Copies of this chain bind each other. A is one copy, B any other.
């Protein structure tokens, strides 16, 4: 894509050792078009994002650090009302209810609220993305008319009562029951034991007056699995209705603007029509019917309508990563610490290799996640708008959500933490935002599907696809396949993805990093790893179908870690591909600078993944030791090339001071540094600086040495005892 990058000197010498890294004289000569890049980063629903960012930039929508949880909860509830006034929340709903049927734009807008206050974003998600969305997607016309208006305009704040204390990610096992009583044509809702209390529900502690309650639907003595019912829970005075009880979850690690709480039900009766009956209904006489015959597929379909939570977490987490990096990289480009190459000026900390190593790969990953998220949102929109909503589309969307949400939410925590550490003590101050964002986003990795559980879901899908592919093969071919795999580990299987080209044995043919810089090599290495890992697990499990249930479970469990790592590798590949497709949209002839810098950044992402998993590539013969080593040297070089563009790359995210609101990213550090340097420069110029005892001592020592040298013959070529002149106190000089 960018010839300059390819034709530069190889990262290794002939013997494979890293060559000395020259300063990248040309890398700062190119320019990034931050405006055009910014437009690309905003993605398909740029207008919705910009409108939401404008709203998020208003002080009344923003978090006030240090509020008590009670104050914070009330503030956020008030902000939700502002959202209603603004009309923003209606976007996803049907035109019949005054909405715009704009699913992608709706999510894009919600995500951007994270810059105002993650509690605002998540409480909005509870009200409109879960409570109201359950009414919309699981209910039918009656519910849309009876319940949706109140949910939409916040007259009825609602809880989404799915999770129980005893069952988080395992929704199918919730223990709350909704038993149909033919005599009264009511459902009777019960919490059979303590573990079945509904738990962690936003709006449950204070504000909610109704809930969509997920319960095992029992009629005529048969349990038809989990269904949702609309259940009023509080009266107009905020008191629990008869049979309903609950508790406040109290203080949490973050998101304290949301009133999470617990609910339980004792013989709470609701009319038959309160069953959200799109995917399963009970007639007056208690007869159960469903448009989906298979209970498993019905459950999957019902839960699938709620995928938007995962979509928006993916986007909000990535936005928070971008903000964290904007703060840390701005600060790192102004902050100076320790003199190294100069007698007077301290170094800008982003010029230190370690600092680059800490932040720039995270920047590359944030770009990848941003591009991947936009593709994900397009997929979501096509399913929910009905333009492409086959079962296969829905399954692909689910798998995409399960692959991307874990990666981006973990990435956000890693990024915000590294950003906070990279800003030192200043990063720990609440005013600089990093600790608060991290605390609020912490729960993103376990809610809306625990990340590990989601990745296991992805892995199972990859295994299913793999097995489907070979279902058509005859047994002898399958046996040969397994044998060849064990023998040379060079077989390249197929998972969800497949490749047109055969992957070569890189280990034995490689001579330089050229190959690694090549886009196709990166793709092949990343794809190959997913496929080989899945094929390996499939091989290890091929006897499991003959086993007892307990033995098969044990065999599966012995592969669990590998499976989850394979799913992660799959997600990383999806991010890399999205980045590469985004890169393809740039034209080197019209914008060589941006194309070049983005190519470096994509390479940093791709090669960073390969470096992270280098042991796997080495063990499996995909990389030779020389190449793996030159990989690290080349990444070091990419860091120095990207360094001059780091500030442009975070500015392109487009977050203004009204979003970042971190004093250390406001230019204040630059002012302080300039003031300090001017002070010392003036002292030196005016001769008012005190003499330095250290300098005086060195001068004295030098004079003494010169006197001694004049009287003693010089020794020949004595080796230095101090490479790099290190001393134990050098770092504290």
Contact = CB atoms under 8 A, between A and B. Distances in A.
A480 interface: no
A142 interface: no
A728 B457 contact: yes
A217 to B, nearest CB: 9
Q: Taking chain A's interface residues, is the majority helix, strand, or loop, or is none over half, making it mixed?
A: helix
A175 interface: yes
Interface residues of A, number: 172
A253 B170 CA distance: 33
A296 interface: yes
19 contacts: A20-B558, A68-B68, A166-B676, A169-B731, A195-B675, A221-B690, A222-B692, A296-B694, A296-B729, A340-B553, A353-B558, A354-B561, A354-B564, A421-B451, A463-B726, A464-B726, A466-B723, A467-B720, A467-B722
A386 interface: no
Nearest to A21: B558
Interface stretch (A33-41, A517-525, A612-620): A612-620
Contacts of A196: 676
A728 B395 contact: yes
A354 to B, nearest CB: 5
A585 interface: no
A173 interface: yes
A457 B549 contact: no
A561 B169 contact: no
A550 interface: yes
Interface string A550-567: 111111111111001000
A654 interface: no
A724 B541 contact: yes
Interface in A142-180: 163, 165-173, 175
A160 to B, nearest CB: 13
A439 interface: yes
B544 A693 contact: no
B722 A252 contact: no
A515 interface: no
Given A172-B732, A618-B628, 14 more contacts: A15-B486, A68-B68, A170-B338, A193-B676, A251-B431, A295-B694, A354-B452, A428-B442, A457-B731, A470-B721, A475-B717, A611-B615, A619-B628, A621-B625
A447 B423 CA distance: 12
A729 B690 contact: no
A342 B673 contact: no
A542 interface: yes
A224 B537 CA distance: 66
A514 interface: no
A713 interface: no
A442 B420 contact: yes
A494 interface: no
A294 interface: yes
A78 interface: no
Interface string A434-467: 1110110011011100111110110111011011
A554 B691 contact: no
A95 interface: no
A335 to B, nearest CB: 9
